[in-house]
């Protein structure tokens, strides 16, 4: 029996760890050839390439070190994927960064960096990958947005602005490709269990003088009704469905995977 993504090629930005790596592994398990992208320690990148390569059947997964803040490198990454793997059927725009500060103190360079990586990079990757998808008559564009693409929080002006922009970009592209066999959708995770997110728990416990468990449920996950992390595998399953054969009529949607955050 053929695997769901057999014969497809996926390019996933920010995929050397966390959500992106979980999506890469899930796609590889279903038969896709996957190109990774992202920063990190050389040994961590090598481990990610080996794990995804093993899921694809052996060897190392292809990897691009492209900087998502540099449009020329994004275009080169898409071109490399098309040249080396024979296409880019599925594009997952996942790369992202964060910075927290009151708006009047927000550093200009951090604003520019967050907007460039979390929003503008999606535009450049879509622009580069879309012509080949349209020519083929099939494609899946999946933008990893956030619950903060739908609602705001204080001190995250750049991140919230970028993620709201990602949803607008998603909807506009979806309308343009509606009759081409290509879809464009977004996933909006809540707080996801990643090493960077988990590292916030201990400082919160110390700040409020409570246990780490209470810091997690009452402070970090304050707005997440389940009071539980969203797991990276749950985001990967959502991305798997949107990339699969039965999602062709889902277009321009924002799929919340947030433990009920947006339901409030």
The residues annotated as belonging to the active site are 159
On whether the CB atoms of residues 74 and 88 are closer than 8 A, the answer is: no
Tokens 């343009």 sit on residue = 176
Rounded (10°) CA dihedral 97, 66, 229, 147: 60
Q: What is the 3-state secondary structure (H, E, C) of the chain?
A: CCCCCCCCEEEECCCCCHHHHHHHHHHHHCCCEEEEECCCCHHHHHHHHHHHHHHHCCCCCCEECCCCCCHHHHHHHHHHHHHHHCCCCEEEECCCCCCCCCHHHCCHHHHHHHHHHHHHHHHHHHHHHHHHHHHHCCEEEEEECCHHHCCCCCCCHHHHHHHHHHHHHHHHHHHHCCCCCEEEEEEEECCECCHHHHCCHHHHHHHHCCCHHHHHHHHHCCCCCCCCCECHHHHHHHHHHHHCCCCCCCCCCEEEECCCHHHC
How far is residue 103's CA from residue 114's CA, in Å, rounded to a whole number?
Answer: 14
């Amino acid at each position: 029996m053929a695997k769901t993504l057999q014969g497809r090629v996926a390019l996933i930005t920010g995929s050397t760890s966390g959500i992106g790596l979980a999506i890469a592994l899930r796609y590889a398990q279903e038969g896709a050839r996957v190109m990774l992208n992202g920063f990190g320690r050389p040994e961590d990148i090598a481990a990610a390439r080996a794990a995804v390569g093993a899921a694809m059947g052996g060897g190392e997964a292809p990897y691009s070190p492209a900087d998502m803040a540099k449009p020329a490198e994004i275009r080169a990454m898409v071109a490399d994927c098309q040249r080396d793997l024979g296409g880019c059927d599925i594009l997952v725009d996942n790369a992202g960064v964060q910075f927290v500060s009151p708006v009047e103190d927000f550093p200009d360079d951090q604003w520019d960096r967050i907007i460039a990586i979390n929003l503008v990079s999606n535009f450049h990757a879509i622009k580069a990958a879309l012509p080949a998808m349209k020519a083929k008559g099939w494609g899946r564009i999946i933008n990893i947005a956030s619950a903060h693409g739908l609602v705001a929080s204080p001190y995250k002006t750049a991140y919230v602005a970028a993620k709201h922009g990602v949803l607008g970009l998603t909807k506009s592209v979806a309308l343009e490709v509606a009759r081409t066999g290509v879809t464009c959708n977004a996933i909006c995770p809540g707080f996801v269990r990643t090493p960077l997110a988990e590292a916030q728990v201990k400082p919160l416990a110390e700040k409020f003088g409570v246990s780490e468990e209470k810091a997690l449920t009452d402070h970090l996950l304050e707005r997440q009704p389940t009071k539980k992390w969203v797991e990276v595998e749950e985001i990967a399953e959502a991305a798997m469905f949107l990339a699969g054969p039965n999602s062709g009529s889902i277009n321009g949607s924002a799929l919340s995977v947030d433990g009920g955050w947006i339901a409030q």
